[in-house]
Chains A and B, each alone.
Chain A
Amino acid sequence: MTGTGIGAPVRRKEDQRFITGQGRYTDDLARPGQAHAVFVRSPHAHARIKAIDTAEAAAMPGVVAILTGDDLAADQIGGLICGWMIHNKDGSPMRAGPHPALAQGKVRYVGDHVAVVVAETLAQARDAAEAVSVDYEPLPAIVETGKAKGAGVVVHDEAPDNVVYEWHLGDKDATEAAFARASHVTRLDLTNNRLVPNPIETRAAIGEYDAGTGGYTLYTTSQNPHVARLVLSAFIGIAPEHQLRVIAPDVGGGFGSKIFIYAEETVCVWAAKKVGRPVKWTSDRTEAFLSDAHGRDHVTHAEMAVDENGKIIGLRVHTTANLGAYLSTFSSSVPTYLYAPLLSGQYDIPAIYAEVDGVYTNTTPVDAYRGAGRPEATFVVERLVEVTARQLGMDPAKFRKKNYIKRFPHQTPVIMNYDVGDYAASLEKAMEIADYKGFGKRKRESAKRGKLRGIGFSSYIEACGIAPSQAVGSLGAGVGLWESAEVRVNPTGSIEVLTGSHSHGQGHETTFAQLVSDRLGVPIDTVNIVHGDTDKVQFGMGTYGSRSGAVGMSAITKAIDKVIAKAKKVAAYALEASEGDIEFEDGRFKVAGTDKSLAFGEVALQAYIAHKFSGQDLEPGLKEGAFYDPTNFTFPAGVHICEVEIDPDTGVTTIARFTAVDDFGVVINPMIVEGQVHGGIAQGVGQALMEAAIYNESGQLVTASYQDYQMPRAGDLPSFQVGMTVTPCPSNPLGIKGCGEAGAIAAPPAVINAVTDAIGHEDIAMPATPQAVWRAVHKTRVPMAAE
């Protein structure tokens, strides 16, 4: 099966429909008789709702219904939930305020849902939504992460000081002792800027109710359809789980923002039954800015202790994490268990102590965004390492190498047990590809042209494939994190694979088929991957945290192993041999030591016609399922090197070179993996140089369109130099680690380390916009100007 098996850059099966305009995204669907929903959203960051007058709007052309929070409450529809319980330092549980799908009594951020208008056409729904009159009593708002704690403005009565939790991890005493004996301490105040995920397909939902069967259907832009069904049924109470079908068809990117269960899809399902027809909602871009869960938004004070030999001996971090106005589905876990356990980075640090305060503010809820916690941790560690090396007068690469973990498995002081890695190998390869040796010459050439050139490293590690269910359960997760798969072999030998993973750009239809083709020795075109429909796939946990390969494909592997075991029994009957003598090789079942054999497809037919064995001795058919629960996280790691050139007259930073060397373990399709790295780097460069969700003091999001929020475009980026090293992951059957987040995690510190190297400053806040860079440059260059 060379050419399409594991390791081959197979061109994607799914591309045919996407490049010809035949994709089927949620908004492309039109259900018979559908009505259109438009949400009335709060223009205030914080206000009491005194009255909602819908009379004028209800009388407008085409209006079918206008529903408010009172209607939700009357139908006893529950609020949205947060699925991960975090405990305070003292062991008490976090404090969560209620999160109704339509506001009840109060609005808490600009864009909060006040009412929904359902009308015959979208234009009519928009017109009527404008005519809904809401009497607000505006309240003072708090938006700033660092000032939220005890601000006086109370977002939720349940948390009067706006503190959701005060959490910690690590050994405080040991860390303080390390700092006490340090010969050098580096201190940095860091902001991890708030981002908007911005998949180009905005969120959309169509709710449908069949009065004949009592069944509900939700078509939606989800990374996680089964969990959406579970939450909508078990917690929000819209429909019994077995009568709710959730379909996530083609999905146009997610980056985390489509994991969560939002108000809009909840309301569409509920409203569909109320109005007796399908209800469709599609977010416009500004709505997406206001209502898709944002990412990052940390304020951190971080310290690194080093001994006289240049060895890191301690790390101390205090982070305030903005969780927004409500706790989104997994928000509580992001700045805690997805963040602090990665603070050891690739380094052997004996003592680490992290404190995290999660706070409410009058802003859009914040949740997982590409990398979720790991980019924030990596930014802290890699900025500290770079600055420490500079302060010690050491080459940053040498300082890293000196402090890398070199023996595995390695238990960090913050939960994680790294299974395998070779960090120096990635560093050396990256330095070679980036031509680190030639940097000095390039810098001098830039200087001749009046430009500032800088180089920056980032040695990142992340925890992917989340994770053993028992482990995450002990940390407060409300769900297990296994994956399921079913391999259905048809009588003709073609195969359908049903997976609980969800593809929204990752190319599962190709890579998963490559695995099946490789293992069963069948042509890749005879394998069909089915995902994204709860009526087809029994259960699944969706795609995020690079879990589809490490966990999803491992489940498929387990099911394939069962198929092969069963097929061997069938083959034994068909070939009149003993089962122990059957070998499976290159897609054929052979009798050892003979030339008797049957192709995989022939055995499949024998399994279904069941002529060669009694159905009592062996069950007919060839279909197997498996649930796979990982034994550990996986630990992709690598080194990214960014080289920038800055124009001191304009402050414009140009990425001159960007090199990424990653260790993702075994790679199924290198073409797709490289594509994931490219995309991640672009998002990381976006965070470093241009992207920021900015609120003004009254809580208005002033960057709520592509005219105000700068997205990376083709002209902002170079082509990337990508390399790989491979240490196979020992904790799953395929040796896969995961690749989806690497670029978004590694790039921001690499870019900022390069910018600070170029301008000679120790720190510059992200995004390092031309204005910020110009200011920083001219602060340092003033004395030079006077020369």
Chain B
Amino acid sequence: MAIVSMTVNGKPVTADIDPRTLLVEFLREHLRLTGTHVGCDTSQCGACVVHMNGAAVKACTTLAMQADGTTVTTIEGLASGADLHPMQAAFREHHGLQCGYCTPGMIMTAVDMVNRLGGDLSEETIRTELEGNICRCTGYHNIVRAVETGAKAMVGAPVRQAAE
């Protein structure tokens, strides 16, 4: 067993875990933060995307021990208080989700995209940047619209992320 400590959604956590525990297992099973989902085992689908020290990572192929000492934000910690993060609001407004399973990973990827590239994103850029996330329901059409809108809203009105 091994001790890991990190800050998750603004709260410090420490746990004694099996060293092979993946970050996604740690979040879901140990912390019961089940918004981060597992859709594949090969880092292909992106349902498990969270932010580690402010950058998007795939939690299904990151060991919890690799996150030792870092700051992790999950979908549960994206917005502060009861308000939605502008990217969450944009997904709702543009019907950017159907079954909702890939959605937390999509939103975390989209926020990371804006953090890196700014709020003025072309359709082509958004489609290229979503390469690591698979959605089987929406055909991406509305996700692209949502990211476009969410990006503009993020830049226009900077929103504090809980843990960043």
- Residues on A close to B: CB < 8 A? 11-12, 14-25, 27-28, 30, 123, 198-202, 250-253, 255, 282, 284-286, 504-507, 671-672, 674-683, 705-707, 711, 713-715, 717, 719-720, 743
Contact = CB atoms under 8 A, between A and B. Distances in A.
A677 B44 CA distance: 25
B39 A19 contact: no
Contact of A713 (B74, B123, B130): B130
Interface stretch (B62-70, B85-93, B152-160): B85-93
B7 interface: no
A25 B36 CA distance: 11
Given A714-B140, A715-B127, A25 B44 contact: no
B59 to A, nearest CB: 13
A672 B97 CA distance: 10
A507 B138 CA distance: 12
Contacts of B32: 30
B144 A714 contact: yes
Given A20-B35, A505-B98, A253 B137 contact: yes
Contact of A18 (B79, B93, B100): B100
A714 to B, nearest CB: 4
Contacts of A679: 98, 136-139
Contact of A682 (B44, B107, B139): B139
A123 B92 contact: no
Contact of B136 (A255, A707, A714, A743): A255
Contacts of B100: 14-15, 17-19, 23, 250, 252, 505
Interface string B12-45: 0000001010000000110011111111111011
Nearest to B129: A714
B137 to A, nearest CB: 5
13 contacts: A11-B93, A18-B97, A25-B34, A25-B101, A27-B34, A201-B99, A202-B38, A252-B102, A253-B98, A679-B136, A706-B45, A713-B134, A743-B139
B34 A200 contact: no
Chain B CB within 10 A, most for which of A21, A284, A285, A671: A21
Contacts of A507: 98
A761 to B, nearest CB: 27
A19 B97 contact: yes
Contacts of A24: 34
Contacts of B128: 714-715
Contacts of A714: 126-128, 130-131, 133, 135, 140, 143-144
Contacts of B119: none
A227 to B, nearest CB: 20
Contacts of A28: 28, 34
Contacts of A678: 138-142
B18 A705 contact: no
A28 B29 CA distance: 9
B136 A18 contact: no
A19 B88 contact: yes
A202 B45 CA distance: 12
B104 A21 contact: yes
Given A18-B100, A252-B100, A705 B139 contact: no
Contacts of A683: 136
B84 interface: yes
Contacts of A505: 98-100, 137
Given A28-B34, A679-B136, A713-B130, A21 B95 contact: no
A172 B141 CA distance: 45
Contacts of A27: 34, 37-38
Interface residues of B, number: 56
B114 interface: no
A200 B135 contact: yes
A720 B141 CA distance: 7
Nearest to B87: A19
B139 A681 contact: yes
Contacts of B79: 20
B99 A713 contact: no
B44 to A, nearest CB: 3
B103 interface: yes
B52 interface: no
B47 interface: yes
B122 to A, nearest CB: 12
Nearest to A506: B98
Contacts of B57: none
Q: From B47, B95, B134, name the one whose CB has the most chain A CB atoms within 10 angstroms.
A: B95
Contacts of B144: 714, 719
Instruction: Sort A-B residue pairs by CB-CB distance and give the 10 closest, nearest first.
Output: A21-B35, A18-B100, A252-B101, A505-B99, A678-B139, A706-B44, A682-B139, A505-B98, A21-B75, A28-B34
Interface string B111-132: 0000000000001001110110
Contacts of A23: 35, 100-101
A671 B98 contact: no
Given A20-B75, A714-B140, 19 more contacts: A15-B92, A15-B97, A18-B103, A20-B35, A21-B74, A22-B76, A199-B136, A200-B39, A200-B45, A201-B37, A674-B95, A675-B98, A675-B138, A678-B142, A705-B42, A707-B42, A711-B44, A711-B134, A715-B131
Contacts of B98: 253, 505-507, 675-676, 679
Contact of A706 (B99, B123, B134, B139): B134
A18 B135 CA distance: 14
Contacts of A201: 37, 39, 99, 101
Nearest to B32: A30
Best-surrounded residue of B99, B107, B128, B142 (most CB of chain A within 10 A):
B99
B42 A285 contact: yes
Given A200-B39, A505-B137, A713-B134, A675 B20 contact: no
Nearest to A678: B139
A772 B140 CA distance: 26
Given A506-B98, A714-B130, A198 B136 contact: yes
Given A285-B42, A707-B44, A19 B103 contact: yes
A176 B37 CA distance: 56
